[in-house]
């Protein structure tokens, strides 16, 4: 892998702790493997709770002088970091594909997407405006200022090893917080490469640390129990989100949660079917179905059901499964054997309940963690895929009658992250977009992510928003100053 990189030192073999590159005190290590072949690509220190506490202490020391800088000074460092990420986009993408499996083209896209948050929030650093409020008494002058919350801690998943960190660390640093992150142990290399470039960009020592550890729950406990940490930000499953929220309650810690989804993708009979198929392909099969905004349930109106299914089958059969590092691959391996089992389980369940395979339907001939992109018709609300997030290349097609029918079905879930509608009738689009209980609605598009818009869910999909001008709020506290003159 090193030989493929222009900057081999971006493939790190140490944790970034309080501004230093360190091994574990215990000497323990763990391997990072490539999900395409299972080969070991790096060995990293397996840190324990005491080292997490050290990183938090260092963050506390670095935070005050960082917050005392002007927004412009912080912005300049973030801008340098953004420039370095883009200058090394190809290396960062290769490292990502090697540890995560997604096709190289998608990794390049993710690096640009992650970097865009660093750029955006760097710009926002200069615009943390407060307000003045007309006094309630003649001698009173009221103002509200926004201040950084202090030390923030983040826990991130393996599906977007760069962007899920960038969305958190960028607003945190922009407003004057320090940030300690524990990336998934499956994909820590992208996080470390980001840290290396942050160091080069001039991010002060200790302000940003990356904890490499297999002891996820220990690290989570330290984040929640250490009184220096005032903010926890998590992206991952709803199940783990609930655990962390409970743990954080003892310290009344401010939390943001980007949790699971079960996105409905709704195709009405007046939709442009070719556009809907294109959208469904990107939305369902991007990152091999392993995103929290991936279409999990595809609802198609009865009149166009067969036509849509046929077109989708043709498009799915054009996808190329393989090693993400190979040119031309559009679908990489799943992240782990358990992920393959989950897809198989959802598929078996669907078939038992009347689903019929239109294409795919089994592990791929390449073996390992590769699975055929699969479409199943005759899907119903009682199938597992309707209530759980599949996180794999399995597209179930549901039939619906009318707007009210599909709104009820789409909202029949504990989740509320992303949803998608394909239709042309403007009143229908308006009615359905307003009725969907989701934080995000894509209309005639399968791609909704951008740093300029607020990303986040309702119901059990989460708390808070990442990106856009709202994205800084999770890292700020309001202070109301009441002055008598
Ligand atoms: P996913 O299905 O995306 O892996 P998880 O919620 O299982 O979602 O994992 C998201 C992140 O949370 C990963 O980095 C994982 O290691 C971490 N994690 C899992 N369990 C815990 C826990 N009890 N406390 C803290 N972090 C955890």
Catalytic residue among 185, 258, 403, 466: 258
Q: Are 446 and 280 in contact (CB under 8 A)?
A: yes
Predicted complex ipTM: 0.98
Catalytic residue among 177, 283, 292, 294: 292
What is the number of the ligand 1 atom nearest to the C-alpha of 182? 14
Residues 6+ apart with CB under 8 A from 452: 120, 467, 468
Confidence grade of residue 150 (pLDDT, cut at 50, 70, 90): very high
Q: Give 184's strand partners.
A: none
CA dist., res. 109 & res. 107, Å (int): 5
Instruction: Tell me the pLDDT tens digit for each residue of 79-128.
Output: 999 999 999 999 999 999 999 999 999 999 999 999 999 999 999 999 99
Q: Give 193's strand partners.
A: none
Instruction: Tell me the pLDDT tens digit for each residue of 171-184.
Output: 999 999 999 999 99
Q: Are 438 and 482 in contact (CB under 8 A)?
A: no
Q: What is the pLDDT of residue 264?
A: 98
CA dist., res. 148 & res. 274, Å (int): 47
Q: What is the pLDDT of residue 18?
A: 97
> How does DSSP classify residue 203?
P
Q: What is the pLDDT of residue 215?
A: 98
Distance from residue 292's CA to the centre of ligand 1 (Å): 14
Q: What is the pLDDT of residue 391?
A: 97
Rg of the chain taking only CA atoms, in angstroms: 23
Q: Are 100 and 217 in contact (CB under 8 A)?
A: no
Tokens 């470039």 appear where? 197
Active site residue 224: no
Tokens, residue 127: 């615009």
CA dist., res. 137 & res. 448, Å (int): 47
> What's the Cα-to-Cα distance from 472 to each of 173, 182, 465, 477, rounded to whole Å?
10, 20, 9, 10
What is the number of the ligand 1 atom nearest to the C-alpha of 243? 23
Q: What is the pLDDT of residue 394?
A: 98
Query: If you average pLDDT over every residue of the chain, what do you get?
Result: 98
3-state percent breakdown (helix, strand, coil) of the chain, nearest 5: 45, 20, 35
Confidence grade of residue 301 (pLDDT, cut at 50, 70, 90): very high
Task: Give kind and range of the element (H or E) at residue 144.
Answer: strand 140-148
Q: What is the pLDDT of residue 404?
A: 98
Could you please report the per-residue DSSP string of 39-53? -EEEEEE---HHHHH
Confidence grade of residue 217 (pLDDT, cut at 50, 70, 90): very high
Within 49-187, where are the H helices? Answer: 49-68, 71-87, 89-100, 104-124, 163-175
Give exposure, 87-125, as e/b (b: 16+ Cβ within 10 Å). ebbbbbbbbbbbbbbbbbebbbbbbbbbbbbbbbbbebb
Confidence grade of residue 434 (pLDDT, cut at 50, 70, 90): very high
- Using most ligand atoms within 8 A of CB, pick from 155, 334, 340 the residue to mutate for ligand 1: 155
Instruction: Tell me the pLDDT tens digit for each residue of 439-483.
Output: 999 999 999 999 999 999 999 999 999 999 999 999 999 999 999
Question: pTM score > 0.95 for this model?
Answer: yes
Q: Are 101 and 333 in contact (CB under 8 A)?
A: yes
Could you please report the per-residue DSSP string of 376-423? EEEE-TTSHHHHS---SSEEEEEEE-SHHHHHHHHH-SS--SEEEEE-
Q: What is the pLDDT of residue 202?
A: 98
CA dist., res. 204 & res. 182, Å (int): 19
Confidence grade of residue 438 (pLDDT, cut at 50, 70, 90): very high
CA dist., res. 212 & res. 215, Å (int): 9
Q: Are 323 and 332 in contact (CB under 8 A)?
A: yes
Among 342, 343, 261, 294, residue whose Cα is nearest residue 106: 294
Confidence grade of residue 33 (pLDDT, cut at 50, 70, 90): very high
Confidence grade of residue 313 (pLDDT, cut at 50, 70, 90): very high
Distance from residue 194's CA to the centre of ligand 1 (Å): 20
Helix (H, G, I), strand (E, B) or coil at 33: strand
Q: What is the pLDDT of residue 21?
A: 98
Instruction: Tell me the pLDDT tens digit for each residue of 133-146.
Output: 999 999 999 999 99
CA dist., res. 294 & res. 275, Å (int): 17
Active site residue 258: yes
Residues touching ligand 1 (Cβ under 6 Å) are 155-157, 184, 216-217, 220, 236-237, 240, 243
Residues 6+ apart with CB under 8 A from 329: 103, 104, 320, 321, 322, 323
Q: What angle do CA 436, 437, 442 make, to 5 degrees?
A: 55
Could you please report the per-residue DSSP string of 318-355? T--BS-TTSTT--B---SSHHHHHHHHHHHHHHHHTT-
Q: What is the pLDDT of residue 336?
A: 97
- Using most ligand atoms within 8 A of CB, pick from 190, 217, 236, 245 the residue to mutate for ligand 1: 236
Tokens, residue 83: 């420039």
């Amino acid at each position: 892998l090193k030989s493929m990189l222009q900057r081999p030192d971006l493939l790190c073999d140490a944790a970034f702790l309080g501004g230093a590159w360190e091994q574990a005190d215990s000497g323990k290590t763990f391997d990072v493997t490539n999900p395409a072949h299972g080969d070991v690509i790096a060995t990293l220190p397996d840190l324990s709770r005491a080292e997490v506490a050290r990183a938090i202490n260092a963050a506390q020391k670095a935070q005050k002088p960082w917050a005392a800088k002007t927004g412009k000074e912080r912005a300049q460092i973030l801008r340098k970091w953004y420039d370095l990420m883009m200058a090394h986009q190809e290396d960062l993408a290769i490292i990502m594909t090697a540890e995560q499996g997604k096709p190289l083209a998608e990794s390049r896209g993710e690096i640009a997407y992650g970097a865009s948050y660093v750029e955006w929030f760097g710009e926002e650093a200069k615009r943390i405006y407060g307000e003045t409020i007309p006094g309630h008494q003649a001698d009173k002058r009221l103002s509200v200022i926004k201040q950084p919350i202090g030390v923030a801690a983040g826990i991130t998943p393996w599906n977007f090893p760069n962007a899920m960190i960038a969305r958190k660390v960028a607003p945190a640093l922009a407003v004057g917080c320090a940030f300690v992150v524990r990336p998934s142990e499956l994909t820590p290399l992208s996080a470390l490469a980001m840290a290396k470039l942050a160091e080069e960009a001039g991010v002060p020592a200790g302000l940003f640390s990356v904890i490499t550890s297999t002891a996820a729950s220990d690290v989570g406990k330290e984040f929640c129990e250490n009184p220096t940490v005032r903010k926890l930000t998590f992206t991952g499953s709803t199940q783990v989100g609930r655990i962390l929220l409970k743990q954080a309650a003892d310290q009344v810690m401010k939390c943001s949660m980007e949790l699971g989804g079960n996105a409905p993708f709704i195709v009405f009979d007046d939709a442009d079917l070719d556009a809907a198929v294109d959208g469904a392909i990107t939305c369902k099969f991007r990152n091999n179905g392993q995103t929290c905004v991936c279409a999990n349930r595809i609802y198609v109106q009865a009149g166009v059901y067969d036509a849509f299914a046929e077109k989708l089958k043709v498009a799915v059969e054009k996808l190329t499964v393989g090693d993400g590092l190979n040119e031309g691959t559009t679908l990489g391996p799943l992240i782990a054997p358990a992920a393959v089992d989950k897809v198989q389980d959802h598929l078996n369940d669907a078939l038992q309940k009347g689903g019929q395979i239109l294409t795919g339907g089994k592990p791929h001939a390449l073996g390992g963690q590769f699975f055929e992109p699969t479409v199943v018709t005759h899907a119903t609300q009682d199938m597992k895929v309707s209530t759980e997030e599949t996180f794999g290349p399995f597209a179930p097609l549901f039939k619906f009658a009318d707007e009210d029918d599909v709104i009820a079905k789409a909202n029949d879930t504990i989740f509320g992250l992303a949803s998608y509608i394909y239709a042309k009738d403007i009143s229908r689009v308006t009615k359905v977009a307003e009725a969907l209980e989701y934080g995000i609605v894509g209309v005639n598009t399968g791609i909704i992510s951008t740093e300029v818009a607020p990303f986040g869910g309702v119901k059990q999909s989460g708390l808070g928003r990442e990106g856009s001008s709202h994205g800084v709020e999770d890292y700020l506290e309001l202070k109301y100053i009441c002055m008598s003159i």
